[in-house]
């Protein structure tokens, strides 16, 4: 019995000592054990920062699935296999993007409901800015999906429904115009507002610029009402023009912002995404649109589309190897040659010359790929343009680096080494708007790197 009591005493003493140690740690070392960089008290402005981070008007699925369908219907693009019945069968769509921001809109509403009336009033500007973001995404959603859940969406955790109703587009336009007008009033008239500061990577808490954005967004709705209710659209434009807050006017007002400097495995905020979109679906430039842009020397052709693979070096290769007949005829029409030492070589481009002469679109003829005698040079080019294991694309693709930042550039030559082309100093300067150190750099325009690597 004494032995049992002895062990009980030891156990009791051990438990008491452990409790004292744990209690002492909680009472005396809380601040010491807490990292100075850890967030221990949440601030409602963090909800805004997260909403901005997840703000994405055109997700990967839009460019992968929806955009090709839009472009085919408008005949501004043609599939690499030509236009067939598949073009009108439809495709998947991106998720409803406004949900991403509405989650935080409703979270902020809840947080404000727990505050005093005076404290809650200080967050009117933050709430108004989040409303502007949700309206922006809502416009995109209705363009693709038509009616969408909005007024009852993303609110189940705060007592709302798990089956939100679908709001009609017409009703949403009226609602969004009201939301934007209310936001403008808040931005221009409310005082004693919380300073968002660095939590706002868009305008750094400048409410006057947020007011301009909200006012300008009303024009997006007006544009969608022109053929539905012209008089209403006209009245919206008049309101926008006469508003004292003004509209987006100039580089400093642009709705462009740099989301992140570091990437993680689940959200590719820095580079947008790495997978191909329009390329993978075989969506390329259409002949009518490219020809129209070239005839008018529209500079946008260089930013929307890529040149084809047939540069002067490639043409020289085919000429030197007695394969002139393998050069697509529509490309050869723009080539001037000369004979040097008995060998026909490239001399110069005809017509407009570089860069215009390297842009070609695919014919919009139905099932053109099946008619090799008429369209084989566009659609069956891989069968007769192989050189050293390479295939040379005769038409223009979309510029995917406008959508995703991580994209190597392949130099289309028959036998050349690797080249490094540095970004011009004007774009790499700290004074440049698109400098890697400038927080206004849009994350979808340029790769986040100092050199663009061109691979063989």
- Calpha distance 174→159 (Å, rounded): 26
Residues of the chain above pLDDT 90, percent: 50
- pLDDT higher than 90, residue 41: no
What's the confidence (pLDDT) of residue 96?
A: 85
**Residue 127, class by beta-carbon neighbours within 10 Å (0-12 exposed, 13-18 middle, 19+ buried)?**
buried
Q: Which helix (H) or strand (E) covers residue 216, if one does?
A: helix 207-225
- pLDDT higher than 60, residue 199: yes
Which stretch, 79-83, 256-260, 413-417, has highest mean pLDDT? 79-83
For the residues of 110-165, what is the DSSP string, one character each?
Answer: HHHHTS-HHHHHTTHHHHHHHHHHHHHHHHHHHHHHSSB--TTTT-GGGT--SSPP
Beta-bridge partners for 335? 349
Work out the number of other CB atoms within 10 angstroms of the CB of residue 437: 11
Residue 34: band (very low, low, confident or very high) from pLDDT cuts 50, 70, 90: low
Asked whether 43 and 111 are in contact (CB, 8 A), the reply is no
Beta-bridge partners for 343? 340
What's the confidence (pLDDT) of residue 444?
A: 31
Q: If you average pLDDT over residues 377-386, what whole number do you get? A: 77
Using the CB atoms, write b or e for 300-330: b if 16+ within 10 Å. Answer: ebeebbbbbbbbbebbbbbbeeeeeebbbee
Cis ω before 255 (30° cut-off from 0)? no
What's the confidence (pLDDT) of residue 38?
A: 60
Asked whether 274 and 404 are in contact (CB, 8 A), the reply is yes
Contacting residues for 236 by C-beta, under 8 A, at least 6 apart = 177, 218, 219, 221, 222, 225
Asked whether 163 and 156 are in contact (CB, 8 A), the reply is no
Residue 423: band (very low, low, confident or very high) from pLDDT cuts 50, 70, 90: very low
What's the confidence (pLDDT) of residue 426?
A: 41
At residue 41, φ and ψ (nearest 5 deg) are -130, 115
Residues of the chain above pLDDT 70, percent: 74
Q: What is the pLDDT of residues 172-189, one digit of tens each?
A: 999 999 999 999 999 999
Residue 401: band (very low, low, confident or very high) from pLDDT cuts 50, 70, 90: confident
Q: What is the pLDDT of residues 331-381, one digit of tens each?
A: 999 999 999 999 999 999 998 998 999 999 999 999 888 888 888 888 887
Of 405 and 337, the one with more pLDDT: 337
Q: What is the pTM of this model?
A: 0.69
Q: What is the pLDDT of residues 96-113, one digit of tens each?
A: 889 999 999 999 999 999
Q: What is the pLDDT of residues 113-145, one digit of tens each?
A: 999 999 999 999 999 999 999 999 999 899 988
Helix, strand and coil content of the chain, in percent to the nearest 5, comes to 50, 10, 45
């Amino acid at each position: 019995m004494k032995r049992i009591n002895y062990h009980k005493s030891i156990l009791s003493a051990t438990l008491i000592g452990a409790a004292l140690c744990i209690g002492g740690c909680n009472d005396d070392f809380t601040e010491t054990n807490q990292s100075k960089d850890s967030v221990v008290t949440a601030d409602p402005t963090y909800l805004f920062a997260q909403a901005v981070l997840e703000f994405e008007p055109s997700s990967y699925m839009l460019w992968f699935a929806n955009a090709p369908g839009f472009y085919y219907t408008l005949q501004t693009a043609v599939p690499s296999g030509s236009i067939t019945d598949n073009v009108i069968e439809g495709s998947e769509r991106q998720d409803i993007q406004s949900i991403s921001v509405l989650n935080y809109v409703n979270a902020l509403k809840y947080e404000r409901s727990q505050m005093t009336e005076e404290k809650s009033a200080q967050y009117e500007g933050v709430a108004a800015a989040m409303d502007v973001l949700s309206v922006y995404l809502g416009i995109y959603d209705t363009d693709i999906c038509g009616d969408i859940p909005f007024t009852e969406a993303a609110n189940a955790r705060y007592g709302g429904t798990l089956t939100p109703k679908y709001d009609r587009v017409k009703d949403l336009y009226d609602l969004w115009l009201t939301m934007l007008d209310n936001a403008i009033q808040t931005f221009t008239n409310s005082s004693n507002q919380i300073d968002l500061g660095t939590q706002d990577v868009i305008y750094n808490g400048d409410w006057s610029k947020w007011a301009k954005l909200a006012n300008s967004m009303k024009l997006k709705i007006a544009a969608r009402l022109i053929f539905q209710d012209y008089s209403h659209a006209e009245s919206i434009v008049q309101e926008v023009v006469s508003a004292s807050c003004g509209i987006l006017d100039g580089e400093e007002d642009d709705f462009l912002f740099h989301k992140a400097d570091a990437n993680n495995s689940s959200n590719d905020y820095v580079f947008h995404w790495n997978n191909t979109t329009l390329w993978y679906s075989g969506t390329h430039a259409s002949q009518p649109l490219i020809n129209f842009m070239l005839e008018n020397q529209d500079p946008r052709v260089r930013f929307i589309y890529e040149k084809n693979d047939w540069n002067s070096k490639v043409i020289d290769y085919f000429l030197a190897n007695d394969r002139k007949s393998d050069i697509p005829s529509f490309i050869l029409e723009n080539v001037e040659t000369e004979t040097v030492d008995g060998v026909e070589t490239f001399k110069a481009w005809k017509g407009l010359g570089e860069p215009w002469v390297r842009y070609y679109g695919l014919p919009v003829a139905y099932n053109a790929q099946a008619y090799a005698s008429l369209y084989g040079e566009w659609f069956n080019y891989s069968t007769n343009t192989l050189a050293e294991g390479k295939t040379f694309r005769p038409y223009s693709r979309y510029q995917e680096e406008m959508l995703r930042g991580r994209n190597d550039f392949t130099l289309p030559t028959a036998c050349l080494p690797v080249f490094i082309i540095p970004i011009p100093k004007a774009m790499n300067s700290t004074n440049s708007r698109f400098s890697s150190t400038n927080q206004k750099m849009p994350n979808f325009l340029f790769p986040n790197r100092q050199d663009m690597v061109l691979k063989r």
